[in-house]
């Protein structure tokens, strides 16, 4: 199993996603002889998982069932254990595009955190690229190394435990892109410039506060970066549902309909707009925004090394 290569069959040691519903799923490490409890009953790894195909419908001990999904960076973002605040797919998608990442790209990242963005970056630069990620906190760095090894991507990533603001990324003039998600990104702009290739490398800084953005932009200008711009990505989700509305009394239009000899009881006309006119209501599909809307996550500041 690897987060960058799809495997058909669930194997001992794999990380799989147990899917109970769109709002209910969780990761599980598949191990021979282990069981996993769900609200639908027990899943026995030896008999219910190992050897089955990813995407299989598995019946639990209480008669309920779940799907077992192959892990992807998107599913991992939704289910990973939170060691820090993480980036979600809305911001990750614009980051990978604006940094112009592709297979073979060399990327530097700080800090690693919970590894949400790291997995997406690794999948984007695979199979010949590489991610150099720096984490200040020792335990988080060790946990990130362990997860990358379990997920079959350790050959594509180097995890370093150090202070990027003081010691940099440990590489020079090779990176196609640099990403910063640290409290004081302006202190690491010089090291980011040193890590980037001679010309044309891209940098992105994620900060929740506009004051951080201001200081970072000033530092970027000081170090000669160009094309500096800041984005804020806000997501608005709609539910598509059927709505019934009462039609107004149109007077003459209603008389015209009756004069045509239209029979609303005819099976061939049931469900048509004319049938709804006779009943005084009409049904149609409409997009309704969710009551709770995801708000501000952070500002993304992009620039180019000149």
What are the binding residues for S-adenosyl-L-methionine?
Answer: 114-117, 135, 163, 181
Q: What's the distance, CA 30 to chain centroid?
A: 23
- Please report, in range form, the residues annotated as the binding site: 114-117, 135, 163, 181
Closest to 51 measured CA to CA, from 5, 3, 8, 4: 8
Q: Are 133 and 162 contacting, i.e. CB atoms less than 8 angstroms apart?
A: no
**Bond prior to 111 in cis (omega within 30° of 0):** yes
SS in 3 state form for 121-182?
A: HHHHHCCCCEEEEEECCHHHHHHHHHHHHHCCCHHHEEEEECCHHHHCCCCCCCECEEEECC
Residue with tokens 């949400």: 116
**Structure token pair of residue 224:** 């000669």
Which tokens is 152 given?
A: 């079959």
């Amino acid at each position: 199993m690897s987060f960058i290569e799809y495997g058909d069959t669930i194997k001992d040691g794999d990380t799989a996603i147990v899917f109970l519903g769109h709002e209910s799923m969780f990761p599980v490490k598949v191990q021979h002889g282990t069981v996993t409890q769900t609200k639908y009953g027990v899943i026995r790894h030896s008999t219910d998982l190992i050897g089955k195909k990813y995407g299989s419908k598995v019946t639990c001990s209480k008669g309920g069932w779940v799907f077992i999904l192959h892990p992807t960076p998107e599913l991992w973002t939704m289910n990973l254990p939170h060691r820090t605040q993480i980036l979600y797919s809305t911001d990750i998608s614009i980051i990978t595009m604006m940094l112009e990442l592709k297979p073979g790209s060399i990327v530097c990242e700080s800090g690693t955190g919970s590894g949400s963005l790291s997995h997406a970056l690794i999948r984007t630069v695979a199979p010949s690229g590489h991610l150099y990620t720096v984490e200040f906190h020792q335990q988080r760095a060790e946990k990130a190394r362990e997860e990358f090894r379990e997920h079959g991507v350790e050959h594509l990533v180097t995890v370093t435990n150090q202070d990027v603001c003081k010691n940099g990324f440990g590489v020079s003039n090779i990176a196609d892109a640099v990403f910063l998600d640290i409290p004081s990104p302006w202190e690491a702009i010089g090291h980011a410039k040193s890590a980037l290739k001679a010309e044309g490398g891209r940098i992105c800084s994620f900060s929740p506060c506009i004051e951080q953005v201001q200081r970072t932009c000033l530092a970027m200008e000081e170090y000669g970066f160009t094309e500096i711009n800041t984005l804020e990505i806000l997501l608005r989700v709609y539910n598509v549902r059927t709505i019934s509305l009462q039609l107004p009394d149109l007077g003459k239009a209603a008389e015209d309909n009756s004069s045509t000899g239209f029979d609303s009881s005819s099976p061939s006309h049931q469900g048509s707009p004319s049938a709804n006119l006779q009943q005084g209501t009409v049904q149609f599909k409409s997009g309704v925004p969710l009551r709770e809307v995801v708000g501000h996550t952070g500002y993304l500041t992009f620039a180019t090394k000149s």
